């Protein structure tokens, strides 16, 4: 099976379309969505529609998707995220809000090799930012390969004979990871719609379970179009600026 893995789309339609076009050219069979479909970006309705149309095999909700359950779920958000959440909630159609509100909490088992979550398998909202959290996550994961998002930072952790190894995936055009037997993996493909690793290109992954290979891909997209839409929507200006620098 070849899975297209997308996470942290954040209502960025141009970034999503660029990833889908690139992934279609490479070929994939099923889609896995790791959450934060909306929030920050100017196209929540169009992005929800596009993701629905992909008929993903598995999806989990992100903290920004929980906004569909009400503004109470924006408690931990800083001022800019809160303003964007308010705008997103007011913009979403009732149907799309309902669809987002029904997204399940992770982790979610996909097959005997793969499971998905938004933040971590022990807490959907936790950020894996250091080796301690990564080790806790990799030990909690039920499957050999746990895919996650939330930090908007492409990174792969692997645990082999009690030793944790880290591979940063930032900056490269395309990186491959071969899954070995007896090793546990925790992989974040990076964000589709709001990369924060200094590379403004959209990020996604393809997992091939037959060849046990992960391709980590970066794709350029017309971010000036998205930035223009952010400003036109009246969303905080900083959200337009950060797209250009990937921070």
Give the binding site for Zn ion (CB under 5 A). Answer: 8, 36
User: Smaller CB distance to Zn ion: residue 36 or 197?
Assistant: 36
**Which residue shows structure tokens 């009400």?**
70
Residue of minimal Cβ distance to Zn ion: 36
Cα pseudo-dihedral 170, 240, 39, 52, rounded to 10: -80
User: Smaller CB distance to Zn ion: residue 118 or 218?
Assistant: 118
Distance of CA 77 to the CA centre of its chain: 18
Minimum CB–partner distance for residue 8 and Zn ion (Å): 4
User: Smaller CB distance to Zn ion: residue 22 or 36?
Assistant: 36
User: Smaller CB distance to Zn ion: residue 36 or 199?
Assistant: 36
Minimum CB–partner distance for residue 194 and Zn ion (Å): 7
User: Smaller CB distance to Zn ion: residue 77 or 221?
Assistant: 77
Asked whether 116 and 58 are in contact (CB, 8 A), the reply is yes
Minimum CB–partner distance for residue 63 and Zn ion (Å): 7
Minimum CB–partner distance for residue 4 and Zn ion (Å): 18
Distance of CA 240 to the CA centre of its chain: 19
Minimum CB–partner distance for residue 62 and Zn ion (Å): 6
Cα–Cα–Cα angle for 63, 68, 73, nearest 5°? Answer: 50
């Amino acid at each position: 099976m070849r899975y297209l893995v997308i996470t942290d789309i954040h209502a960025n339609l141009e970034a999503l379309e660029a990833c889908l076009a690139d992934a279609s050219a490479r070929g994939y069979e099923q889609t896995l969505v790791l959450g934060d479909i909306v929030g920050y970006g100017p196209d929540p309705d169009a992005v929800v529609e596009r993701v629905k149309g992909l008929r993903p095999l598995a999806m989990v909700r992100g903290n920004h998707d929980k906004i569909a359950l009400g503004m109470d779920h924006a408690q931990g958000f800083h001022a800019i995220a809160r303003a964007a959440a308010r705008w997103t909630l007011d913009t979403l159609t009732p149907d799309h809000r309902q669809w987002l509100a029904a997204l399940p909490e992770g982790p979610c088992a996909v097959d005997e090799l793969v499971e998905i979550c938004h933040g971590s398998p022990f807490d959907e909202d936790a950020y894996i930012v250091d080796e301690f959290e990564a080790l806790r996550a990799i030990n909690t994961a039920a499957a050999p390969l746990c895919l996650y998002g939330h930090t908007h930072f492409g990174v792969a952790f692997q645990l082999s004979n009690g030793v944790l190894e880290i591979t940063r995936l930032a900056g490269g055009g395309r990186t491959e990871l071969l899954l070995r037997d007896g090793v546990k993996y925790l992989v974040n493909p990076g964000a589709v719609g709001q990369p924060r690793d200094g590379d403004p290109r959209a990020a996604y992954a393809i997992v091939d379970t037959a060849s046990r290979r992960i391709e980590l891909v970066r794709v350029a997209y017309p971010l000036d179009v998205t930035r223009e839409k952010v400003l036109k929507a009246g969303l905080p200006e900083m959200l337009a600026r950060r797209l250009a620098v990937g921070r």
